[in-house]
Structure 1
Amino acid sequence: MKSKKTTQGLGLALGARVGGALVLLCALGLIAWNERRVMDYSAALTRHGSPVLDLGSAGRPAAGQYGATTRVSGMPTVVDAPRDAEFNVRSESPVLIRHVEMFQWREITVAGNTHYEMDWVDRPIDATGFAKPAGHVNPGAFPVQGRQFDAGEVRLGNFRLAPDIVRDFPGRVDVPVNEKSLPSNLAATFTAYNGALVTSSKPANPRLGDLRVSWEAVPLQDMTVLAQIEGDTLVPSKTARPGEAGFDVQVGERSLLDVLPALPEAPGAVVAVRGAAYVLAIVGTLLLACGGRFRRDILFALGVGGVAVSAVAGAMWLTGDAMTASVWLLFAVLGAGLAIWRVQQRTTRTAH
């Protein structure tokens, strides 16, 4: 006849095993849920035509990144600044723009009334099309043309930027002119006035045909770029649809979801959930072993819990990513090896 104490012990052991089974099932359910959301997120990323990396400001070119889309942020660095050699104007900026205007006649019609006035215009105006061309003839072609000068190299973080991306940088700031730095042939023609160079003998009172030349630059500011990786360079996407730029440029530090709102939100605490699943599996194994020869054997529980969690995760990844699945299954093999080693140790001790 069993004593009351023995009966209570058996009841406690049975309860612990039932609880252990439930905890182990929770661990397997937790790892399955976690890996499913990671797989769904990976599938959503690949629907954009290429993998999407979030490298931020610290990312570096590395093997396996070619063709991937990435977000890179930070302050651009101008390695080779643009220069307008004709006027000897230089700016530490990604892009330098020369504007040329001529003082010309303009025809203005308001409510059927036509009148003429002279103003600065950035293109030649053909007066032959005027209603009254007599007395309003313009000089014609500009002797100096407006131009844009790109920096020889601009870097964002550890990546070079393709010219198309640099030209899309927003913002403009005036570049001050210094007539003392002008080449001698131009210094005799141009005078500095209100931040520009003019050919007027009386800058405050320009005459027909006078030129005004000024410069603007793209300012250096924190930027976020979403583009495709090609070696150590960020370039427009080769798979962009017609009419699309194939990249995105935004001012300031922007998250991946800011520049690519179609992406789902990345799953949070992935590593922490995986760790929790392992802990639950180990606790469940310890409870299942309660009353047996492997009770309180933490190494055995570690091995069995590792096998259970890793095998479930590996099986889930088999159809989606063979490399990830192989890593999980490697952990399962290591766990199985640890559990088998503990069983052999226990068997050897019992035999002696």
Structure 2
Amino acid sequence: MSIGRLTVLHGPPAIVAGVALLVLGIVLAALTEHSVWNYRLALQLHGGGVIDLGHSLEPQDGLQGHMVRISGTPRVVEAPYDTDFNQQAATPVLERHVRMFQWRELRIGGTTTYELDWADTPQDSSRFAQPQGHANPGSFPIAGKRFDAGSVELGGYKLDAALVHALPDSEPVAPVAKALPANLAASFSLQDGALVTSANPGNPRLGDLQVSWSAVPLQEVTVIARVDGDRLVAVPNAVDGDGYEVNVGDSTLLDMRPDMAAEPALIWPRRILAVLLATLGMGLLLRQKDATRIDPRVALGGGLLVVGVFAAMPWLGSSTADATAWAVVALAGLALLVWHRRASRPRSRH
């Protein structure tokens, strides 16, 4: 089988070979475009492609506006500060937790019982089945609160507030009792890593408060975010709703985005091979019945027409540019077929 002056298959073998080559070309073209379409869709969902910087943490030229992946341990430049209790810690996020010793209603089957225990939200005793003798104080005089560091850096980049909030994990932080303001030092004492208002910490009373703190630990993390000057920020209006990723440890891109396969390889060689396969197939199927050669214009025209049509299909409704480009390829193939047909007509003699 060959194009031009070389001989070709005849009869049923030629038809079978032509159909097989044509189908292979169509399938290869459709699969190639579908893989590119899937990859671009994943990019759109997460805010764009990612440049893997690994542990190269210093800002580099040419990265402005690009998504990057960076691994390392954050550095707290301005530590969070709980002004009410005069507590501070070298952590990206410091959180205050408040609990009160209150009555709690327990319903097991048809039995209702009451017990005094620590709870982190006010228990509305007016809704109890037996409120008499189980009245709770009401709202907390001190609220729980979250304190973010004024500045957190990952290498040479400052982390935007959204990325600081997303830093994972939490560990308890023991308060410094001697740092308490005088008015609170008179009310609170230290017990088991928390501050309590109990006169006898081992035997709390109704309405006693317990205040404790937790912090995001300083550990290796991997961040995917957009470069904005010397800052790492979330991508605005990202389809996935976040526009950034944060993981513990040195995580790969696939670990953080399991729905995002690697960028398809050898796209253009696969496209060219699809056209060649379809060209050979169409050459065998469209040749003249008694012809011993494949006409190059017929073969190439048919191959471009078929591949162009099927390659455009995955892009319909999603990418006008790609669909148009393949439509142009199909039209070029159709033009070749029309040109061959007109050139093959016998010229009239006058």
TM-score, length-normalised on structure 1?
A: 0.61
Whether the 8 Å contact between 1:58 and 1:158 is mirrored in structure 2 is: no
- Corresponding residue for residue 98 of structure 2: 100
Q: 2:43 aligns with which of 43, 48, 59?
A: 48
Whether the 8 Å contact between 1:138 and 1:209 is mirrored in structure 2 is: yes
| Amino acid across the alignment from 1:248 | E
Q: 1:253 aligns with which of 242, 250, 262?
A: 250
Name the CA shift for 1:44/1:63 in 2 (closer, same or farther; >3 Å): farther
Whether the 8 Å contact between 1:162 and 1:235 is mirrored in structure 2 is: yes
Q: 1:159 aligns with which of 145, 152, 157?
A: 157
Q: 2:75 aligns with which of 77, 81, 86?
A: 77
SS of the residue corresponding to residue 163 of structure 2 reads helix
Q: CA deviation at 1:234?
A: 1.5
Whole-angstrom CA distance in 2 between matches of 1:88 and 1:141: 23
SS of the residue corresponding to residue 131 of structure 1 reads coil
| Amino acid across the alignment from 2:253 | L
SS of the residue corresponding to residue 48 of structure 1 reads helix
Between Structure 1 and Structure 2, how many residues are aligned?
Answer: 231
Whether the 8 Å contact between 2:124 and 2:138 is mirrored in structure 1 is: yes
SS of the residue corresponding to residue 141 of structure 1 reads coil
Name the CA shift for 1:131/1:257 in 2 (closer, same or farther; >3 Å): same
- Any unmatched runs of 5+ in structure 2? 1-31, 266-320, 323-350
- Any unmatched runs of 5+ in structure 1? 1-36, 269-318, 321-352
Whole-angstrom CA distance in 1 between matches of 2:163 and 2:144: 21
| Amino acid across the alignment from 1:229 | V
- Corresponding residue for residue 179 of structure 2: 181
Q: CA deviation at 1:197?
A: 0.5
| Amino acid across the alignment from 2:142 | V
- Corresponding residue for residue 204 of structure 1: 202
| Amino acid across the alignment from 2:255 | D
Name the CA shift for 1:224/1:45 in 2 (closer, same or farther; >3 Å): farther
Q: Deviations over 1:236-270 (max 9, x none)?
A: 2213126x3221111101122222234443699xx
- Corresponding residue for residue 115 of structure 1: 113
Q: 2:168 aligns with which of 167, 170, 175?
A: 170
SS of the residue corresponding to residue 43 of structure 2 reads coil
State the Cα RMSD in Å.
2.5
Q: CA deviation at 1:136?
A: 0.7
Alignment of structure 1 residues 1-352 onto 2, 5 Å: 44=39, 48-49=43-44, 50-241=48-239, 244-265=241-262
Whole-angstrom CA distance in 2 between matches of 1:106 and 1:122: 12
| Amino acid across the alignment from 1:48 | L
Whether the 8 Å contact between 1:45 and 1:263 is mirrored in structure 2 is: no
Whole-angstrom CA distance in 2 between matches of 1:246 and 1:108: 43
SS of the residue corresponding to residue 164 of structure 2 reads helix
Whole-angstrom CA distance in 2 between matches of 1:250 and 1:158: 19
Whether the 8 Å contact between 2:39 and 2:264 is mirrored in structure 1 is: no
Q: CA deviation at 1:59?
A: 4.1
Whole-angstrom CA distance in 2 between matches of 1:251 and 1:42: 31
Whole-angstrom CA distance in 2 between matches of 1:264 and 1:47: 8
SS of the residue corresponding to residue 200 of structure 1 reads coil
| Amino acid across the alignment from 1:110 | I
Whether the 8 Å contact between 2:196 and 2:208 is mirrored in structure 1 is: yes
Q: Percentage identity across aligned positions? A: 47
Of 170-179 and 46-55, deviating more is: 46-55
Q: CA deviation at 1:115?
A: 0.6
Whole-angstrom CA distance in 2 between matches of 1:43 and 1:173: 40
- Corresponding residue for residue 301 of structure 2: none
Which structure carries more relative contact order (alpha carbon 8 Å, separation 6+)?
2
